[in-house]
Amino acid sequence: MANVAVIGAQWGDEGKGKVVDWLASRADIVVRFQGGHNAGHTLVVGNQTYKLSLLPSGVVRGKLGIIGNGVVLDPQALLDEIGKVSAQGLKVTPENLRIAENTPLILPLHPALDRAREAARGEARIGTTGRGIGPAYEDKVARRAIRLCDLAEPETLSRKLDELLLHHNTLLRGLGAEEFGKDALLAQLLGWAPRLLPFMEAVWERLDEARHSGARVLFEGAQAVMLDVDHGTYPYVTSSNTVAGNAAAGAGIGPDAIGMVLGIAKAYTTRVGSGPFPTELHDEIGRGLGDRGHEFGTVTGRRRRCGWFDACMVRQAVKIGGIQGLALTKLDVLDGMAELKLCVGYRIRGEVVRRLPSAPGAQAAAEPIYETMEGWSGSTRGARSYADLPAAAVKYVRRIEELVEAPVVLLSTSPERDDTITLRDPFAG
């Protein structure tokens, strides 16, 4: 059995929670390898709904969850999330959750800087969640981050705080925001230490052992390829690499251990926050997709922008992300629509292209070229085999496969875990 890496193939919010939960039930270990608590997965298990931002989905299924070094970790957010799921009857202990010792921490000064910068941008704001993700990744790259292992060394912690505050307070002062004092931050970090350090370990060793023992590992990505800091619609992106290749660096394993790369895509397109969105619909159709699909962000609570399926963008994500198969979600949201459209190209300043360019001006100028398809009057909701689908729905899925140049291996037809058509087992490689 192979390992599996799950990544988003659009702009996030593709319904990864259900797919990851289904895969987690069959894995031995689930690893979060990037992002922070700006990502959210909603898992419905029986009569319980779990909303996770940092905890790997495997803990819900009684599997070992690992938070890798590619994540930026807000200690208080993690402790709050553990408290919340514990109140729902889920136990989270060092027996089922491990955190990489070299994981960078998000401190209270990071969201403060995040919000101050966004306010200063005014109309040019990029739509950040304001949770300090970007500033924390900046500190990591600048080699001034405080990492989980530093909580075990108070002298190291004190010295690193001096450098961190010199940098951040200068920026906060320039933005007219409140500065932070060392004593209060140090006391907060030392207060977190006894609650977090029991979860700490060199997770690369555990993953190496898992690899040699034949254990099945699920690498759980956050956000999506088109929010990747290198390959997405920059600067309207997240602050980490969301592509599957980052599972290796963000977990501490070799790239040959990643296994099959599964991309998640909705049967239409959504986006939260600012940034280009060529197929966005501002009419009743767009509002209808949002209403039927319950399109509100798990983390932000913001209403998602909705539009037609952008096959060019997903094809781009397939190529960049190394996606070998797609899980197509929310097909049932399209039930009853007489006509559907697929974006098959863009017209940018008179030129027809099949990719979304990197330059912001060209992205903003992209006009979608549509192919129109017949909708279906029947219902796909709850279907568990292709035989249960209307013929026009099957034709729609097949056309998506052709356009994005990747097979649909899983097809989700409702939020319920078992309402999934499985065409190929991702763990079979």
CA separation for the pair 399, 20 (Å, rounded): 25
| CA pair distance 10, 14, nearest whole angstrom | 7
What φ, ψ does residue 67 adopt, rounded to 5°?
Answer: -100, 115
Query: CA-to-CA distance for 20 and 217, rounded, in angstroms?
Result: 12
Confirm whether 168 is a catalytic residue: no
Which one is catalytic: 21, 37, 41, 150? 41
Question: What is the torsion angle, in degrees rounded to the nearest 10, for the CA atoms of residue 205, residue 206, residue 207 and residue 211?
Answer: 100
Question: Residue 28, exposed/middle/buried by CB under 10 A (0-12, 13-18, 19+)?
Answer: middle
User: H or E stretch including 321?
Assistant: helix 311-321
How far is residue 80's CA from residue 3's CA, in Å, rounded to a whole number?
Answer: 30
Distance CA 303, CA 288 (A): 12
The answer to whether 13 is a known catalytic residue is: yes
The 3 state secondary structure assigned to 357-404 is CCCHHHHHHCEEEEEEEECCCCCCCCCCCHHHCCHHHHHHHHHHHHHH
CA 77 to chain centre: 17
Rounded (to 5) percent helix, strand, coil in the chain: 40, 20, 40
Annotated catalytic residue: which of 13, 21, 139, 310?
A: 13
Annotated catalytic residues are 13, 41
